[in-house]
Chains A and B, each alone.
Chain A
Amino acid sequence: MPGESRQPRTPPARISSKRVPGGLFSLTASVGSRQFITIAVLVFVALGLAWWIVTKAGWVTPLFLPPPGKVMARLQELAVSGKLLDDMLISIYRISLGFLISTAFALPIGILIGSYRAWEAMIEPLVDFIRYMPVVAFVPLTILWTGTGDAQKFLIIFIGTFFQQVLLVMDNVKSVPRDFINLGRTLQMPESRILTRIILPSAMPGIWDSMRISLGWAWTWLVVAELVAATSGLGYRITTAQRFFQTDTIFGYLLLLGVLGLATDQAMKWGSRKLFRYLRQSR
């Protein structure tokens, strides 16, 4: 039986970044995962160091940019008192539920309008229309509608993420190759099965990535909602700190938000690698 698999396979040439003209910073240079992490960590360290030097040298007023040591001490103080954990838990609760509600609506609608052009005509322009309305302008309205409780936070997260998610999911579904759908047709699969057995699994890695990206925005809208009207949460703490010029608290919480965001993002990326193992080329 002829077959190219029989031919001796030459092992893929190891592309070392050193051998590529221009080294690490040439267009096609490969960067190993260890190298990647090292570079990423170095950037954080460098920024931290710059922060420390700038404050240590007294080039800026501590009120504008408090030294890292003071920020850390403040965070520790809040952690010991239990406030930090309380703020974090309530905010995580709000974003989890808000994001889930938004996703629960965005997935079916995005899949629907990505698969059927008639539904797209009905919904897509409307979504685009609302998408351009600034979310912040909805804050007073949402307070009027739902008060200042958790429901208002969910609503702001929903308005901020749902309309973006729908369009992202629609694009993910649209990028399913036409031939995949034609394959289902030639196998005489009913439309509903083509949708569930071909279109959905095919669009899934892209949808997952869209969720990862929109989760980042959800964090922003949560803090916006908490800044304006809340009695708890990370955003609330930042507002109170602002009243007393406690810039160390503000900086501490900003860092904390960054860490939380980075952690969820990494978790989503890890999940993607586990769920869509088949996409990786290992041979």
Chain B
Amino acid sequence: MTASKLVISNLGKTFRGDRGDVVALSGVDLTLGENEFVSLVGTSGCGKSTLLSIVAGLESHDAGSVTIEGKPISSPGLDRGVVFQSYTLLPWLTTLGNVEFALLAAGKSRKEARDIARGHLSLVGLDGFADAFPSELSGGMKQRVAIARALSYRPNMLLMDEPFGALDALTRHHMQELLARIWEQHRLTVLFVTHDVEEAVYMSDRVAVMSNRPGRIKRIINIDLPRPRTYEMMGSLEFTRLQREVLAEIRAESIAIAALGDALA
């Protein structure tokens, strides 16, 4: 692994509510190397999205630390691009306008913003849709705009929260290939939250499996598949073995939840 980019150490997060406190994360340790692609997987409710929100600076934490290149983070920043599951395209702006919006916020001039936005739309294969409004786009196209927008202002880290979770299987595969291509050509550090094990193995250098509440990193599995990743690889024995290994770790967690449920019943 090259130099550490993101260091999460002994991170803890407790949600305080009227009906008692919920310990969402406890003792989370995870380090991402420069230009590394790491997926976070786990059962639903294990706190993986919370962890990503904390790294994005959108959520506070109450124990431990998160540092990027040695500097602790406490608020959102343009050094981290975030892609949300819900697309979050602003409906009153065109495709081009949505990408420009981010660039203008990042302090680029109108002219610069236009040029960079056009370039990034073509990166995600949407050249012909610059003037389309989000209401005219399919889910996959919307998420491609969101990816173009998150990459456009050149963050040195990309945080993706189940970005393809709302897409149909076929579109999801297209998007995985597209993101893998872009990432392999323009490397940057990616933290990728998903509940799709196949997706995690296909995209990542390493897959971090989280345990149930309180969430912590249970195991990290290295994905030593060659790059560039191809669609055909998904059929290989090694791919299947890795997928099964990740799945077994998650399954153990699901069984633990079921057993706990029985015990409480």
Tell me the A residues contacting B by CB distance below 8 Å: 1-5, 177, 179-180, 182-189, 193, 197-198, 201-202, 204, 276, 278-283
Contacts and interface: CB of A to CB of B under 8 A. Distances in A.
Contacts of B137: 283
Given A4-B170, A280-B135, A188 B76 contact: yes
Interface residues of B, number: 41
Nearest to A202: B90
Contacts of B84: 179, 182-183
SS of A interface (majority): helix
Interface stretch (B12-20, B62-70, B171-179): B171-179
A234 to B, nearest CB: 38
A281 B136 CA distance: 5
Given A177-B86, A188-B77, A5 B56 contact: no
11 contacts: A1-B181, A179-B88, A182-B82, A186-B80, A186-B82, A188-B78, A188-B105, A193-B105, A202-B92, A276-B92, A283-B136
B78 A3 contact: no
Nearest to A1: B125
Interface of B: 56-58, 75-78, 80-82, 84, 86, 88, 90-92, 101-102, 105-106, 125-126, 128-129, 132-138, 140-141, 144, 153, 170-171, 174, 177-178, 181
Given A180-B88, A185-B76, A283 B132 contact: yes
Contacts of A1: 125, 178, 181
> Among the interface residues A187, A188, A193, A279, which one has the most CB atoms of the partner chain B within 10 A?
A187
B178 A182 contact: no
B105 A2 contact: no
A180 B90 contact: yes
Contacts of B101: 187, 197
